[in-house]
Amino acid sequence: MIIVMSHGATEKQIENVIDKVHSYGLRTHPIFGVQKTVIGIVGDDKTIVVENMRGMPGIEQIIPILQPFKFAGREAHPDDTVIEIGGVRIGGEKVVVMAGPCAVESREQLLDIAGKVRASGASVLRGGAYKPRTSPYSFQGLGEEALKYLAEARDTTGLLIITEVTDPRNVELVSGYADIMQVGARNMQNFVLLTEVGKSGHPVMLKRGPSSTMTDLLLAAEYMIIEGNSDIILCERGITTFETYTRNTLDLSAVPAIKHESHLPVLVDPSHATGKSSLVEPMSLAAIAAGSDGVIVEVHPNPEQALCDGPQSLTLEQFDVMMTKLRAIAPIVGRSL
Amino acid sequence: MIIVMSHGATEKQIENVIDKVHSYGLRTHPIFGVQKTVIGIVGDDKTIVVENMRGMPGIEQIIPILQPFKFAGREAHPDDTVIEIGGVRIGGEKVVVMAGPCAVESREQLLDIAGKVRASGASVLRGGAYKPRTSPYSFQGLGEEALKYLAEARDTTGLLIITEVTDPRNVELVSGYADIMQVGARNMQNFVLLTEVGKSGHPVMLKRGPSSTMTDLLLAAEYMIIEGNSDIILCERGITTFETYTRNTLDLSAVPAIKHESHLPVLVDPSHATGKSSLVEPMSLAAIAAGSDGVIVEVHPNPEQALCDGPQSLTLEQFDVMMTKLRAIAPIVGRSL
Amino acid sequence: MIIVMSHGATEKQIENVIDKVHSYGLRTHPIFGVQKTVIGIVGDDKTIVVENMRGMPGIEQIIPILQPFKFAGREAHPDDTVIEIGGVRIGGEKVVVMAGPCAVESREQLLDIAGKVRASGASVLRGGAYKPRTSPYSFQGLGEEALKYLAEARDTTGLLIITEVTDPRNVELVSGYADIMQVGARNMQNFVLLTEVGKSGHPVMLKRGPSSTMTDLLLAAEYMIIEGNSDIILCERGITTFETYTRNTLDLSAVPAIKHESHLPVLVDPSHATGKSSLVEPMSLAAIAAGSDGVIVEVHPNPEQALCDGPQSLTLEQFDVMMTKLRAIAPIVGRSL
Amino acid sequence: MIIVMSHGATEKQIENVIDKVHSYGLRTHPIFGVQKTVIGIVGDDKTIVVENMRGMPGIEQIIPILQPFKFAGREAHPDDTVIEIGGVRIGGEKVVVMAGPCAVESREQLLDIAGKVRASGASVLRGGAYKPRTSPYSFQGLGEEALKYLAEARDTTGLLIITEVTDPRNVELVSGYADIMQVGARNMQNFVLLTEVGKSGHPVMLKRGPSSTMTDLLLAAEYMIIEGNSDIILCERGITTFETYTRNTLDLSAVPAIKHESHLPVLVDPSHATGKSSLVEPMSLAAIAAGSDGVIVEVHPNPEQALCDGPQSLTLEQFDVMMTKLRAIAPIVGRSL
């Protein structure tokens, strides 16, 4: 941690800052420059207490040097984390494709989709039971009924199932059905929910919040890790920017960037990122080319009748075509599908 | 609602779209332009079903005409909402100042601050009991203990108290102590929490999410209104942008804009918006000048020793000076303090 | 064009708006909804005059239906534009790789790099002669001397050369040397420069401005097309967002999106977008997978000694490795290199 | 300047970095932490060469400590700059109001507006002669003819005149007519134009670019200062964000922030920032409350017939009302109008 004193800081102010740092049991290394004095601080994790010294007279800025996350970072855990669930390995050599409808709409619809995405090569079935929607007038999901259909689809097809949990009171219920729980983008900093999911120890996919930096995402993962849950898949799903052509802006360079900083697997959701079905295939191919551990996409037999996210859903035929291309592109980057 | 057909849409595609709209019991008004056909749709609230037609062949875009919120908007409720709690009117002629520490740190600290901000003219005491923090290693609040200190401070000073609720399971507990509950920015789209707070019927301040538009904010308020809670204060507290000098970017023009679209009171939080104590006074003055119904600011007797948000906290002396200026500026815009 | 009247608009106001539109020689199609009246306008390009009616009493919003650009869009020109320069076709079946140093630093450096990127398979050599730099204290380029070295490198290697033009007074000079002129991101809305480059009729690469939407980019291209220059290559090079890990945020989904809306070739610049050499290879691969017509990357024999943009430059060895992978990925999306 | 070595940096890498820094004639102060080594660098302005060392093996990041601008900052020039032009002092005790049409449309229109804004208390007349427009199909201004009308309006009313210069070839022409030249937001990083305006030594108002940080703005001012022009007024006019309700997002906290970092006067343009005439008065009041040295606003006798920016223009009556309120608010913050 580095404290930069302002241009006009007095000797007394510098002394006060140094004394304060010492009072926390930390050592200081002041560097007296021509224009400014800089105080390097050496110690252990307690440097976080220094953050709140920012208000002290004469301090211009405080710059952290160490990453704010410990367990989510590569420094503490250099090797890639591979999460194995029911024979599917996420974060390993094979890229993983998760597919299914935005929301579970009916038993028949789900079983139909499940069989077809399985045949095309998906290994995980997605489907929303509890839907967080911007408008209270939009379809909110079928709840536990949907969870039962998902479980049936798993039993029938052998696919793993992933579904979103939105309520800390439902973590036990949802983890009883789902192989992987999802914490959605709008709940990425719902720390109450993160803590419950962390305690559950159940595999989870954590989606990046629309205005969250990579560091915020890794800190959110850290919340779950310190509760004892290391089976965390990260998911880039677009960030909020000024561009309105797409629903969000897919920050694809976050994939190699996160994999550089963290050992956790990273997936990409081009459906929510772009909001346009015509962009899902090119961005899925790009995701794998950029080093993603897989993609999660929305498919629907009749997107124009979907109760949720129709415009961004692939048809089952489009999904099948895309899978063929993904299978071809994976080996170029040393992976398979 | 307007459906714009693409340049090359066929007659058959246009016909299909019209038929589909009719199947929802809505009427259509097609306009055949030189380059594109536009289909106007007239009906009632059911137009939301049209949203999901976006995937249909030949459709270029679907443009909603009505506001997506009903009860939060001025169209349904032209007069300003004034919320009266224990003699304090929020949204009326008087501007309201809420002040206090980021987090409640101790009984003594809180009672000391309460007495002083009261003397300076504040009418509501803020203080965090449950703190949502980006890092799991930061101070997370004293929990119910803090709620008890807040209640004591109310009893002693006559100030109303406001504190954040982060967990749907705590809504009853927190509303038992607090005069006003706060839903924080990171929970603005935590719909589970919104629903519980809505059901409680307890006065609430809803902070704008860092990547949420004004419309998103009003839809979040709508979630609570349809559960029966109309005592909602909105709060602008800065949005996420590329500028790093300030913690967030205070979107002050949102204040007159929201007041134009909605009848709900709007406050401004310059402390979280800017993250710098030196900017709190100028932006508080600006907020009142722009038509805000009040401000909520962080104060701390010793900001450099605060467990949370020290750098953005005013000292008690700075707060007192600011109050004098706010008192002078309010009459210029037809208000008082 | 659609005019939406506000909820409380009077009959007189609606009549005034209709009369005004008629005064421009345009036809109106009013639709009287339950809550709001919508006025469809049919006519030709003159609808742009309607834009300024927004101030009229009773008007809530004015929504354009047609794209604001004419010649840059696919509606006017459905087939892909392929630009052929000295045997290199840009926008055709082959993807094009442009490579070279940020700034031309010396004759020897440039000839060395040129020979090597040629050997690795690049077909265009980049190198800055006039450098727009955020700080006046940064290296500003060698000017015409650099142009001469570039010309010599072309003569020696057969590579095409591309270099930036920043001054309308230099368009003739630069186009006398360069095969392709570049209009940089910060000049994307320098309309004086666009007009001069448009008049020159010389092939140009137009980089997207950091806060410009896709539509803004196509309108900037339109400025040059209406001056008679259709040989325009577009380039996505990252937009400004809140994420600070990368220099900008590469908006890769803009590639398929622009190719959907426009017939012009689109390249990607992962060097400026990410600012980190470690992200250049994955994002180049992703760009080709997403349908880009090529990439432009910075290479330098000794990035840590570069006078400009060292941290984002590939070494010649890294570039050669990347080219091998690009050659493998192109056929997956029906292209070659 | 601080170099942070990565967690796994070898002793040899640290040594190489230190040697390299020494080769530039700079001194180093290494601090060996438990996890990372940090190298403080002391020297003079030459530290900018260190920027390009970022590519060296083992370096994680390089953090500048000194402000990148020298002459635009308060450290070099602690006192406020006051620019005096023809009896008007900008940056002094009196706040300054600039008003006029977006574009000069005719002699009569301009003289009419000039007389009226003068009567209401404005001291500078704005009016565009050369208009940078996003679309080539929008009105581009009357050019030199408009400059002549502006000069006549000055002679008639005694108002100063301000108008935009967009072409480096026109700097002499425009400065021959205008009391203050304006460099528009889209040209803030048109360094060729900045250099010419800098050389002219003519008073200039520099508008902040829509994706430019405060630091970028001050660096753009620095370009002009080092050419010899210190008569620079800065102008906050909104930044690009995700919010679409307003044209841009007015970053009002930039006003006290810039005034803290720089000695140059700062104005606010609420017309371009918000794009909505109804928001101009509240944001003008807020600007003065926040410490702005003045405002520049668009007025038009008939906004719905304006050739440019009608929706954001005040009528002359609205302007007069606003001036009365500005006159009342200025004394609250120790100013007058």
D333 touches chain A (CB under 8 A): no
Cβ contacts from A onto D, under 8 A: 52
pLDDT digits (tens, 9 = 90+) for B81-124: 999 999 999 999 999 999 999 999 999 999 999 999 999 999 99
User: Could you tell me the sign of the dihedral formed by the alpha carbons of B172, B173, B179, B181, in that order?
Assistant: negative
Three-state secondary structure call for residue B287: helix
Contact check, Cβ <8 Å, D55/C209 = no
Residue B246, chain D, CB below 8 Å: the answer is: yes
Tell me the pLDDT of chain B averaged across its residues. Answer: 93
Are D283 and B246 within 8 A, CB to CB?
no
What number of residues does chain B have? Answer: 337
Confidence of residue D157 (pLDDT cuts 50, 70, 90): very high
Structure tokens at B34: 């030189």
Pairing of strands C96-100, C88-90: unpaired
User: Which position has the higher pLDDT, C278 or B47?
Assistant: C278
Task: Give the highest mean pLDDT range of B157-171, C131-145, D27-41.
Answer: B157-171
Average pLDDT, chain D: 93
Among B233, B277, B274, CA closest to B255 = B233
The string of pLDDT tens digits covering residues D188-202 is 999 999 999 999 999
- Whether chain C has a CB inside 8 Å of the CB on A293: the answer is no
CA distances to B294, B325, B326, B334, D279 from B331, in Å: 13, 11, 9, 5, 19
Chain B neighbors of D214, CB-CB under 8 A:
243, 245
Whole-number pLDDT of residue C48: 63
Chain B residue whose CA is closest to D333: B325
A283 touches chain C (CB under 8 A): yes
Residue D45 has pLDDT above 60, yes or no: no
Strand order in the sheet with C59-63: C27-32, C37-42, C2-5, C59-63
**At the top level of CATH, which class does the domain D2-63 belong to?**
alpha beta
Residues B268-277 have a mean pLDDT of 96
Rounded to an integer, what distance in angstroms lies between the CA atom of residue A133 and that of residue B68?
12
Q: Cβ of A38 and D40 within 8 Å?
A: yes
Q: What residues of A are in contact with residue D32 (Cβ under 8 Å)?
A: 42
Please say whether the beta carbons of C249 and A251 come within 8 A: yes
pTM value is 0.95
Chain B residues near residue D217 by CB distance under 8 angstroms: none
Q: Do D138 and C187 touch (CB under 8 A)?
A: no
For the ranges A44-48, B43-47, B220-224, the one whose mean pLDDT is highest:
B220-224
Round to whole Å and give the CA distance between C290 and C240: 21
- Whole-angstrom Cα distance, residue C33 to residue C15? 16
Note the pLDDT of residue D32: 87
CA dist., res. A167 & res. A161, Å (int)? 18
Say how far apart CA B52 and CA A304 lie, in whole Å.
Answer: 6
**Between chains, do C55 and D132 touch, taking CB under 8 Å as contact?**
no
B252 chain-D contacts, CB cut-off 8 A: 250, 252, 283, 286
Q: Does A30 touch chain B (CB under 8 A)?
A: no
pLDDT tier, A46 (very low <50, low <70, confident <90, very high otherwise):
low
* Residue D192 identity: V
Predicted confidence at residue A106, as pLDDT, reads 95
In degrees to the nearest 10, what's the CA dihedral of C321, C325, C326, C332? 180
Q: What is the mean pLDDT of residues C14-29?
A: 89
pLDDT at residue number D48: 63
Instruction: Give the pLDDT confidence score for residue C87 in this predicted structure.
Output: 93
Place D12 in a pLDDT band, splitting at 50, 70 and 90. Answer: very high
Total Cβ atoms within 10 A of residue A173? 16
Lowest-pLDDT range of A285-289, C55-59, C187-191, D196-200: C55-59
C46: pLDDT strictly greater than 70? no
Neighbours of C109 (CB within 10 A): 20
Q: Are A168 and A198 in contact (CB under 8 A)?
A: no
Nearest one of B238, A246, B261 to D239, comparing CA atoms: B238
| Matching residue, tokens 């038993």 | A107
Q: Which of C286, A25, C279, B135 has its CA nearest to residue C298?
A: C279
Judged by CB atoms closer than 8 Å, whether chains meet at D251 and B274 is answered as: no
Tokens matching residue D153: 């309006």
ipTM greater than 0.90, yes or no? yes
**Cβ of residue D278 closer than 8 Å to a chain B Cβ:** yes
pLDDT per residue over A281-337, tens digit each?
Answer: 999 999 999 999 999 999 999 888 888 888 899 999 999 999 999 999 999 999 999
The answer to whether residue A313 neighbours chain B at the CB level (below 8 Å) is: yes
Which candidate, B80, B78, B76, places its Cα nearest to that of B67? Answer: B76
Q: Is a pLDDT exceeding 60 seen at residue A45?
A: no
User: For A148-189, what is each residue's pLDDT tens digit?
Assistant: 999 999 999 999 999 999 999 999 999 999 999 999 999 999
Q: In the predicted model, is pLDDT for residue B45 greater than 60?
A: no
Average predicted confidence (pLDDT) for chain A: 93
Nearest-by-CA chain A residue for B193: A167
pLDDT at C174 over 80: yes
Task: Give the pLDDT mean for D269-287.
Answer: 97
| CB-defined contacts A:C, below 8 A | 123
**A74 φ/ψ angles, rounded to the nearest 5 degrees:** -70, -25
Q: What is the pLDDT of residues A28-39, one digit of tens each?
A: 889 888 788 999
Distance CA D50, CA D20 (A): 9
pLDDT, average across residues B175-198: 97
The structure tokens listed for C72 are: 């840059």
Question: DSSP for C174-221?
Answer: HHHH-SEEEE-GGGTT-HHHHHHHHHHT--EEEEPPTT--HHHHHHHH
Q: Does A26 touch chain D (CB under 8 A)?
A: no
Average pLDDT, chain C: 93
pLDDT of residue A308: 83
pLDDT on residue C44: 59
Residue ranges with strand state E in chain A: 2-5, 27-32, 37-42, 59-63, 83-85, 88-90, 96-100, 124-126, 160-164, 180-183, 204-207, 232-236, 266-268, 294-298
Q: Determine, for residues B55 and A310 on separate chains, whether the beta-carbon distance falls below 8 Å.
A: yes
Q: How far is C69 from chain B (nearest CA, A)?
A: 14
Q: Label residue A137 by pLDDT band (50, 70, 90).
A: confident
**Residue D47 pLDDT exceeds 70:** no
CB pair distance less than 8 Å for C35 and B75: yes
- Which chain A residues contact residue C333 at CB under 8 A? 285, 325
Question: Cβ atoms within 10 A of the Cβ of A199, count?
Answer: 15
For range B141-147, the mean pLDDT: 95
Domain boundaries, chain A: 2-63, 83-333
Q: How many CB atoms lie within 10 A of CB C11?
A: 9
Q: Which of B256, B273, B278 sits opposite D260 (nearest CB)?
A: B278
Check D241 against B251: CB less than 8 A apart.
yes
Whether residue D302 is predicted with pLDDT greater than 70 in this model: the reply is yes
d(CA C108, CA C62): 58
Bigger pLDDT: B22 or D334? D334
Residues 204-243, chain A, touching B (beta carbon < 8 A): 209-211, 216, 219, 222-223, 226, 239-240
Contact D204, D181 (CB under 8 A): yes
Nearest alpha-carbon partner for C244 in D239, B274, A239: A239
**pLDDT tops 90 at residue A61:** no
**pLDDT digits 0-9 by tens, B122-137:** 999 999 999 988 888 8
CA gap A69, A83 in Å, rounded: 20
When pLDDT is cut at 50, 70 and 90, the band that residue C199 belongs to is very high
Task: Name the pairing type of β-strands C37-42 and C2-5.
Answer: antiparallel
How many percent of chain A have pLDDT more than 90? 77
Q: Which residues contact C79 (CB under 8 A, 6 or more apart)?
A: C263
| Spatial CA neighbour of D186 closest among D176, D196, D194, D174 | D194
Tens digits of residue pLDDT in A202-230:
999 999 999 999 999 999 999 999 999 99
Taking CA atoms, what residue in B is nearest to C211? B242
Please answer whether residues D308 and D104 qualify as being in contact, where contact means their C-beta atoms are separated by less than 8 angstroms: no
Query: What are the residues facing B86 on neighbouring strands?
Result: none
Mean pLDDT of D99-121: 97
User: The dihedral of CA D4, D6, D11, D13: what is its sign?
Assistant: negative
Superfamily (CATH H level) for B83-333: Aldolase class I (3.20.20.70)
Chains that touch D (3 or more CB pairs under 8 A): A, B, C
Phi, psi of D162, rounded to the nearest 5 degrees: -130, 135
Q: Which of A217, A243, A284, A333 to mutate to test the interface with C (most CBs of C within 10 A)?
A: A243
**Mean pLDDT, range C91-99, rounded to an integer:** 98
Residue in chain B closest to D260 (alpha carbons) equals B278
The amino acid at residue A34 is V
Burial pattern C294-309, b for ≥16 Cβ within 10 A else e, equals: bbbbbbbeebbbbbbb
Q: CB C253 to CB A333 under 8 A?
A: no
* Res A44: pLDDT: 59
Lowest mean pLDDT among A283-297, B274-288, C59-73: C59-73
